[in-house]
Amino acid sequence: MSTQAFEVAVGDLVPNGRAIGSREIKVSPMSHVQRLFVFSLAMLTKLFTNLEAIPGMGTMSTGCCCVLAESLESLWLLFAALACVGLMLGLSTWGYLEYAALVICMLLQIPLSLAYLAHRWLVQRHPENWVVTLAFPCINTTLWILSSLFLPIGSVGSPAYDLAGQAVILTQCAAWFGRSGLTFVLSWLAAAGAHRFVRPTSKKGFRIALATLFLLCIAGGARFYAPTAFMGRAFVPPGGQPDEYYRISCLSNVNDMYGETQRRLEAGDTIVMHSELATATFRATSGAYQEVLAKHYEKTQIQALIVLCFSKEGRSWYNLVTKDGTVMSYAKNHPVPILESSLKPGDSPPSVVESLKVGRASSRNISVTGTICFDTDFPQVTRALSAADVLLESSETWSNIGRQHLHGHQYAALENGQTVIKCTRHGFSGAINPYGSIVVQLPQTTRAVISFMVPRFPKLTVFPALYTAFDTVMGVSACFWLVLALVPRLSSRWLGDGHL
């Protein structure tokens, strides 16, 4: 860092609001009461951003924090405010890790403060240049991308989860840019809106952000409604006729998992799933379920799948079984931090099984894959499975996280253009179509069996390489904005004196 940049950064701590070696920073005329109100609103809205999410609350909380970053004279007050907001984020995710969630979410504010500092310095230095409102979304999005890659929490807690399962039109943009695209748009709306609030004359950035949001909603609506827009009066059922549907059963720790699996096959189910760790190890490894499927096929000429999930050698294992044997097996890659500290992570990710027959002989072949619970929250795991038509997830949830855990996996369906079918314990089992719509959502308790039908939705064309490209662009842009924020001479050279 140059001497002048260091002086600017340190000078920002000076109580009178001036930065050494740069032009005077104009502090917002907001009163203490107004700032206290914004701070209270930031905390309150952050409480409704994860497990009991209300759409837009995360964006509003982020916007309030940007207002504080831009208007507070003391950096220490800003850091204290961010710590309090982190505490509220921990409370919003209480069901995951309880007290540990508070610590993790407060520590997350340390790297996230980089985005707020960059926003603070750039908008104060170039208040009338709308381009600087892009700094915060680029840096914030990059930090959440890095979180999903390197932290044990995956994409849980990212701004995109604020809308999971509740804003299906806007979330369609995840099919083009990945969930990072939604994080970027929401972060931009927050930063540009905050700048417009603090400086009423700076309208352009907010208007462009709103226009971008509007266009994405139009494009998302077109994508979502295109299959039925010109259907006319003749109804064509999505996913084929009901007699072609997948017939799913989810078994959660019933007393006789083996016997109940046989009964579900006899009842006509074509996919029988065991919740996470519900399968007895001996049955899972003895070939017993393969024999059941082989006998079922000989009797009915209907091919079925069984998903087994069991504990072996300190790992949580997933086996996808057909009448020909186990066709895919892997161990859970990402055990839940703290709560599953006794589990060892698997050495390899899940894979896609091509050309499987499920149902009658006339049914078309499909490709199938599967994941275990928390692995589905890691984009680097799920995006590698985009070739599959169907993803079968086995999981176990607890407390009040079950509903949001199902909602959050909407992004796996959207990014891969595939049907996601989830079987859980102590949560919500169900199915999500390739457009991210939750078509089945049923509460599942322990020692219970539920069954439901899912249409054979056709797989949508997606381009996972675009998600990687967008993430890369975000990373490069974040570095660019951080350099400009730390080096005033460069920002003046590139952005001028605040007018564009």
**Secondary structure (DSSP) of 428-467:** EEEEE-TTS-EEEEEEE-TTEEEEEEE--PPPPP--HHHH
Instruction: Judge contact between 118 and 482, C-beta under 8 A.
Output: yes
**Cα distances (angstroms) measured from residue 320 to each of 293, 305, 327:** 12, 7, 6
Q: Answer yes or no: is 460 within a domain.
A: no
Does one domain contain both 22 and 87? yes
Q: Answer yes or no: is 363 within a domain.
A: yes
Other Cβ atoms within 10 Å of 299 Cβ, number: 10
Q: Look at 39-43, 207-211, 234-238 and tell me which has the smallest mean pLDDT.
A: 234-238
pLDDT digits (tens, 9 = 90+) for 283-320: 777 789 999 999 999 999 999 999 999 999 999 999 99
Does one domain contain both 407 and 474? no
Q: Answer yes or no: is 241 within a domain.
A: no
CA distance 150 to 141: 14
Q: Answer yes or no: is 414 within a domain.
A: yes
Instruction: Check pLDDT > 90 for residue 164.
Output: no
| Coil/strand/helix, residue 300 | helix
Q: How confident is the model at residue 481 (pLDDT cuts 50, 70, 90)?
A: very high
Does one domain contain both 37 and 83? yes
In 3D space, the residue among 402, 336, 371, 378 whose CA is nearest the CA of residue 155 turns out to be 378
Does one domain contain both 210 and 253? no
CA distance 319 to 253: 17
Does one domain contain both 8 and 98? yes
Q: Answer yes or no: is 239 within a domain.
A: no
In 3D space, the residue among 486, 494, 383 whose CA is nearest the CA of residue 139 turns out to be 486
Does one domain contain both 213 and 287? no
- Phi/psi at 328 (nearest 5 deg)? -155, 135
The residue segments making up the domain with residue 352 are 246-455
Does one domain contain both 379 and 414? yes
Q: How confident is the model at residue 51 (pLDDT cuts 50, 70, 90)?
A: low
Q: How confident is the model at residue 144 (pLDDT cuts 50, 70, 90)?
A: very high
Does one domain contain both 270 and 219? no
CA dihedral 257, 262, 268, 269 (to 10 degrees): 30
Does one domain contain both 409 and 475? no
CA distance 378 to 326: 25
Q: How confident is the model at residue 42 (pLDDT cuts 50, 70, 90)?
A: very high
pLDDT digits (tens, 9 = 90+) for 257-272: 999 999 999 999 999 9
Q: Answer yes or no: is 202 within a domain.
A: yes
Q: How confident is the model at residue 21 (pLDDT cuts 50, 70, 90)?
A: very low
Indicate the number of domains in the chain: 2
Q: Which residues pair with 419 in a beta bridge?
A: 390
CATH number at residue 392: 3.60.110.10
Q: Answer yes or no: is 267 within a domain.
A: yes
CA distance 241 to 452: 15
In 3D space, the residue among 304, 317, 388 whose CA is nearest the CA of residue 351 turns out to be 388
Longest dimension (CA), the chain: 85
pLDDT digits (tens, 9 = 90+) for 97-113: 778 888 888 888 999 99
What's the pLDDT at 103? Answer: 87
In 3D space, the residue among 297, 349, 302, 293 whose CA is nearest the CA of residue 325 turns out to be 293
Does one domain contain both 372 and 483? no
pLDDT digits (tens, 9 = 90+) for 344-375: 999 999 999 998 999 988 888 999 999 999 99
Instruction: Check pLDDT > 50 for residue 25.
Output: no
Does one domain contain both 271 and 354? yes
| Coil/strand/helix, residue 370 | strand
Q: Answer yes or no: is 156 within a domain.
A: yes
Does one domain contain both 308 and 445? yes
CA distance 363 to 370: 21
Mean per-residue pLDDT, 82-98: 83
